[in-house]
């Protein structure tokens, strides 16, 4: 239903509403109040504090028009316990006519302090001399610029909603089946929405919000449970080649940490089981996840089965191929590298060999999803930096095998509440220690005026054999005069001194060229690498222990942590410099980041700052931003709704097959979160 069906809406207001994203009646229903004013409690000035929302009733004791650069109208209200100034910048003339000394008002607003208590543009309600305070609860809406210029204010919405809810045949799209809400002890969605727009008490509005949160979370929990339940019984246990693991361990240039050994054991145990095994290996950047995955793959491949290792970028896939191939070779296992950049003939050959079982391990990127890639006996899929992939992509790869096992690896430490819902279908395995000898990266905030001093320090370090990543947020030149581009910085650093060689890479570059430069950096032929976030995931050059991040405020903290993880991969001292002016609003947030090396803490901070949707390191994954549910405030709801989902899938309520089908259709329709991937 579009809005023109509503009575009393002129074309100007209609246009303003449309421009603000309110096009249909259902848009209006979901135009949720920003907050609610509880007018049921009257405040006393003597007991109120600056920053509080207050409702006061009192008489005007002084009032006057104050001419100046911006003319203001000011009045003083006395509520019998104290005095507060009321200040009006907008519509001063109008207020000058209505607010006169001796009149009685109910005023609502946030108590400020400027030469005494004051309320700027409070809501004003005229009261008769003997009129009693008749409280109520009122929703407060966000008013957009467009709405404001079409004279749409709070009052407009407050009178609009009774009309909306009086419409015959009003319904909400995608409402859950009534049987379901009833089972959960919830009111119908429409009724809850009404309680948000026209509540009688504050508690009613809060209750409605809670109910809507539960309903919003349910489809996610249902899908998670369905996925977990779909893990199949293989029927027979798998025998792993333990001696392949022992041999490979012996030829590693280091000994595994206790955490790594335990992770390998846990994974192998899962792989041996009769049931399909899906696990999440979580470990901070640099904790050494790759070798864990490699050992498990070795054990599977040595038994004649096939494994696929999937990485989000070409750089990373090539790096894995290069570092793992020698171990596979030694064990007599054939390995292939499959990238989007491979020629059609190459792809055909690789795919043919996989299909015939001549190759046991394939390492690749998204190219592995391709329909043409077929396997003879794919039984183990490993996905690195899994947050870069969607659930659907993951599933596409799994389909190529016969109920294969799955290991997804993530360096994004996820708070437990979140992990339970996002990855509730995966067995958690945590690597919580880094290889011995690693020191925390020394992270410092550098004022832009110290840029040259910093460069001098960096040069001194580079001369002793160190290498430097310089991260910028942009590829092109920024017209807005903000952050510098890759080329600008590369130019700046080259002209700073000829004592270091500078290379630059970014995502829009030819891949061969990019790999060539990265290799030159890895081998030390160039010592300074100016780069965009293409280096964020996985890139491993242990000799590079210096990093500068230009315009760090443009990144989320979790992403900065990933970037910082590129250094400190050896046993040397490692530095990370964040260039940010002392005056930047991001300064405080970045200092908190600089003060900790703990990925979980940083993930928590990031979640507080930017919401869970951004946590996974990608702006595009905002699909996880819920309308009602809040990952931080409402985390205790998760377990309850997971339990509800279990009950529904077990059909504890005894729904008829028709109702079950309706429910299934409903949750399949609801937003998919990051299921479609973030690319």
List interacting residues with ligand ADP (CB under 6 A).
254, 256-257, 260, 283, 285-291, 411, 435, 540, 542, 569
With respect to Mg ion, which residue has the nearer C-beta, 461 or 536?
Answer: 536
With respect to Mg ion, which residue has the nearer C-beta, 224 or 429?
Answer: 429
Closest CB to Mg ion: residue number: 538
Round to whole Å and give the CA distance between 232 and 559: 36
Q: Give min distance, CB of 263 to ligand ADP, in A.
A: 11
Q: Which of residues 547-566 bind Mg ion (CB under 5 A)?
A: none
What are the Cα distances from residue 33, in Å, to 193, 217, 290?
10, 20, 48
With respect to ligand ADP, which residue has the nearer C-beta, 386 or 527?
Answer: 386
Binding of Mg ion by 599 (CB under 5 A): no
What are the Cα distances from residue 93, in Å, to 62, 64, 71, 90, 474?
16, 11, 9, 8, 49
Q: Residue 627: is it exposed, middle or buried by C-beta count within 10 angstroms (0-12/13-18/19+)? A: exposed
Could you say which of Mg ion, ligand ADP, none residue 349 binds, taking C-beta under 5 to 8 angstroms by partner kind?
A: none
Q: Give min distance, CB of 259 to ligand ADP, in A.
A: 9
With respect to ligand ADP, which residue has the nearer C-beta, 37 or 567?
Answer: 567
Q: Give min distance, CB of 385 to ligand ADP, in A.
A: 8
Query: Which helix (H) or strand (E) is 58 found in, with range?
Result: strand 53-66
Identify which of 255, 640, 582, 252 has the alpha carbon closest to the alpha carbon of residue 417: 640
Q: Give min distance, CB of 283 to Mg ion, in A.
A: 9
Could you say which of Mg ion, ligand ADP, none residue 552 binds, taking C-beta under 5 to 8 angstroms by partner kind?
A: none
Q: Give min distance, CB of 619 to ligand ADP, in A.
A: 22
With respect to ligand ADP, which residue has the nearer C-beta, 177 or 286?
Answer: 286
Binding of Mg ion by 286 (CB under 5 A): no
Structure tokens at 82: 């104290």
Closest CB to ligand ADP: residue number: 288
User: Residue 607 in 3-state DSSP?
Assistant: helix
Q: Give min distance, CB of 528 to Mg ion, in A.
A: 23
Round to whole Å and give the CA distance between 474 and 549: 12
Q: In Å, how far from its chain's centre is CA 638?
A: 17
Which string of DSSP letters, residue by residue, matches 192-253? HHHHHHS-SSHHHHHHHHHHHHHHHHHHHHHHHHHHHHTPPB-SSPPPP-HHHHHHHHHHSS
Q: Give min distance, CB of 521 to ligand ADP, in A.
A: 15
Size of the site for Mg ion (CB under 5 A): 1
Q: Give min distance, CB of 388 to Mg ion, in A.
A: 11
Binding of Mg ion by 288 (CB under 5 A): no
Could you say which of Mg ion, ligand ADP, none residue 288 binds, taking C-beta under 5 to 8 angstroms by partner kind?
A: ligand ADP
Could you say which of ligand ADP, Mg ion, none residue 257 binds, taking C-beta under 5 to 8 angstroms by partner kind?
A: ligand ADP
* Residue labelled with tokens 């000799």: 543
Q: Give min distance, CB of 314 to ligand ADP, in A.
A: 16
Could you say which of ligand ADP, Mg ion, none residue 424 binds, taking C-beta under 5 to 8 angstroms by partner kind?
A: none
Strand partners, 110: 53
DSSP state of 274: S
Q: Residue 325: is it exposed, middle or buried by C-beta count within 10 angstroms (0-12/13-18/19+)? A: middle
DSSP state of 644: H
Strand partners, 53: 110
With respect to Mg ion, which residue has the nearer C-beta, 538 or 617?
Answer: 538
With respect to ligand ADP, which residue has the nearer C-beta, 95 or 380?
Answer: 380
Binding of Mg ion by 538 (CB under 5 A): yes
For the chain, the maximum distance between any two Cα atoms, rounded to a whole number of angstroms, is 96
Q: Which stretch binds Mg ion (CB under 5 A): 106-114, 224-232, 511-519, 530-538?
A: 530-538
Q: Residues interacting with Mg ion, by CB under 5 A? A: 538
């Amino acid at each position: 239903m579009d809005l023109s069906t509503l009575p009393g809406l002129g074309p100007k207001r209609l246009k303003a509403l449309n421009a603000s994203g309110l096009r249909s009646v259902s848009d209006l229903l979901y135009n949720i109040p920003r907050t609610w004013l509880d007018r049921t409690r009257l405040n006393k000035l003597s007991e109120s504090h600056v920053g509080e929302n207050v409702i006061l009733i009192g008489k005007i004791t002084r009032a006057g028009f104050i001419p100046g650069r911006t003319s203001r109208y000011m009045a003083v209200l006395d509520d019998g316990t104290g005095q507060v100034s009321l200040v009006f910048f907008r519509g001063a003339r109008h207020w000058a006519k209505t607010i006169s000394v001796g009149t009685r008002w109910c005023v609502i607003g946030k108590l400020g302090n400027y030469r005494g208590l004051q309320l700027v543009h409070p809501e004003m309600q005229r009261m008769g001399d003997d009129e009693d305070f008749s409280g109520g609860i009122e929703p407060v809406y966000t008013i957009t610029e467009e709405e404001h210029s079409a004279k749409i204010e709070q009052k407009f919405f407050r009178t609009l909603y009774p009309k909306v809810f009086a419409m015959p045949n009003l319904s909400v799209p995608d409402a859950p089946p009534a049987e379901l809400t009833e089972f959960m002890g919830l009111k119908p969605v429409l009724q809850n929405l009404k309680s948000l727009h026209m509540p009688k008490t504050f508690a009613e509005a809060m209750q409605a919000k809670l109910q809507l949160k539960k309903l919003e979370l349910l489809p996610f929990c249902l899908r998670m449970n369905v996925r977990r339940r779909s893990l199949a019984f293989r029927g027979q246990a798998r025998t792993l080649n333990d001696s392949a693991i022992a041999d490979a361990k012996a030829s590693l240039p280091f000994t595994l940490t206790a955490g790594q050994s335990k992770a390998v054991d846990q994974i192998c145990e899962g792989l041996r089981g009769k049931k399909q095994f899906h696990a999440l290996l979580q470990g901070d950047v640099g904790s050494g996840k790759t070798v864990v995955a490699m050992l498990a793959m070795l054990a599977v491949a040595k038994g004649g089965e096939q494994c696929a290792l999937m990485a989000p970028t070409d750089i990373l896939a090539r790096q894995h191929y290069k570092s793992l191939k020698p171990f596979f070779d030694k064990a007599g296992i054939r390995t292939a590298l499959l990238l989007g950049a491979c020629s059609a003939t190459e792809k055909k050959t690789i795919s043919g060999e996989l299909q015939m079982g001549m190759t046991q391990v394939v390492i690749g990127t998204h190219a592995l999803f391709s329909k043409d890639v077929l396997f003879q006996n794919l039984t183990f899929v490993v996905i690195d930096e899994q947050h870069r992939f969607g659930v659907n992509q993951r599933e596409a790869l799994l389909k190529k095998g016969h109920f294969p096992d799955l290991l997804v690896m993530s360096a994004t430490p996820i708070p437990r509440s979140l992990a339970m819902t996002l990855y509730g279908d995966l067995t958690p395995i945590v690597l919580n220690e880094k290889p011995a000898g690693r020191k925390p990266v020394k992270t410092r905030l550098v004022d832009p005026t110290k840029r040259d001093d910093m460069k001098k320090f960096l040069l001194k370090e580079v001369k002793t054999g160190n290498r430097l990543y310089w991260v910028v947020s942009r590829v092109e030149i920024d017209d807005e005069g903000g952050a510098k581009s890759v080329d600008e910085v590369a130019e700046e650093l080259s002209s700073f001194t000829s004592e270091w060689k500078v290379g630059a890479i970014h995502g829009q570059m030819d891949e061969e060229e990019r790999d060539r430069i990265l290799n030159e950096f890895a081998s030390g032929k160039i010592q300074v690498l100016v780069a965009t976030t293409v280096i964020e995931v996985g890139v491993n050059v242990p000799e590079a222990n210096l990093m500068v991040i230009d315009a760090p405020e443009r990144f989320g903290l979790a992403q900065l942590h990933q970037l910082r993880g590129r250094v400190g991969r050896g046993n040397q001292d490692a530095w990370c410099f964040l260039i940010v002016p002392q005056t930047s609003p991001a300064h405080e947030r970045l200092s908190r980041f600089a003060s900790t090396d703990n990925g979980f803490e940083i993930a928590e901070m990031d979640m507080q700052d930017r919401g869970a949707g951004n946590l996974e390191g990608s702006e595009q994954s905002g699909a996880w931003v819920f309308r009602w549910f809040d990952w931080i405030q409402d985390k205790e709801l998760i377990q309850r709704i997971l339990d509800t989902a279990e009950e529904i899938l077990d059909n504890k309520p005894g729904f008829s097959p028709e109702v079950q089908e309706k429910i299934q259709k409903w949750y399949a329709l609801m937003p998919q979160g990051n299921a479609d991937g973030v690319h």
